[in-house]
Amino acid sequence: MSKALQHFKTITKHRHEVIKNCKKAGILWQGLFHDLSKYSPTEFLQGAKYYQGTRSPNDKAREELGYSKAWMHHMGRNKHHFEYWRDYSPKHKGFMKPVKMPLNYVVEMFCDRVAASKIYQGEKYTDSSAYDYFMAAKHRRVDMINEETSDTLEGLLFMLKEEGEEKTFSHIRKLIKEFRNDSKR
């Protein structure tokens, strides 16, 4: 099977897993539009070229090129990535700072991370997988993600680790309902 077909299957399987998670979280509509940019030529062609099946092709591209054009394209178009949420600081002219993400995108990021762990780890996946991955790189993200956003995501991943999917998604649905009610005011 060609690397392009394998990559297509992997991103589609991942996307479907995110859609399932988003449905459980009460944000199905968002899930239906999740990661559509991965099918664009900029992202898909690089993904197929560097496909390995066990990790993101963006990592392999970075090793060879020193950057990932697909990732830069992706994070600039998908609001469920904390890297999207950066802007110039009004207090420190000319400096970028992380901005707090709206809860619905933090929840989509949670759904994305859980799905990615399931796809890449396969049978080795546990409810602690996404939390462990997040925590392993926490020290590298300090100035890149808004502290409140990071704490919210970490809390959800920790809840998944400690209490499982059913309880975590039930909690998330309540948070989303409150978020929507607050947004209407």
pLDDT digit string (tens) for 61-99?
999 999 999 999 999 999 999 999 999 988 888 889 999
The per-residue pLDDT for 143 is 87
pTM of the model: 0.93
Q: What residue ranges in 32-161 does DSSP mark as E strands? A: 86-88, 96-98
* Secondary-structure percent of the chain, ordered helix, strand, coil, rounded to 5: 70, 5, 25
Give percent of the chain above pLDDT 70. Answer: 99
The per-residue pLDDT for 185 is 65
C-alpha to C-alpha distance for 89 and 104, rounded to whole angstroms: 23
pLDDT digit string (tens) for 127-175?
999 999 999 999 998 889 999 999 999 999 999 999 999 999 999 999 9
C-alpha to C-alpha distance for 61 and 170, rounded to whole angstroms: 38
Give residue limits of the domains in the chain.
79-184
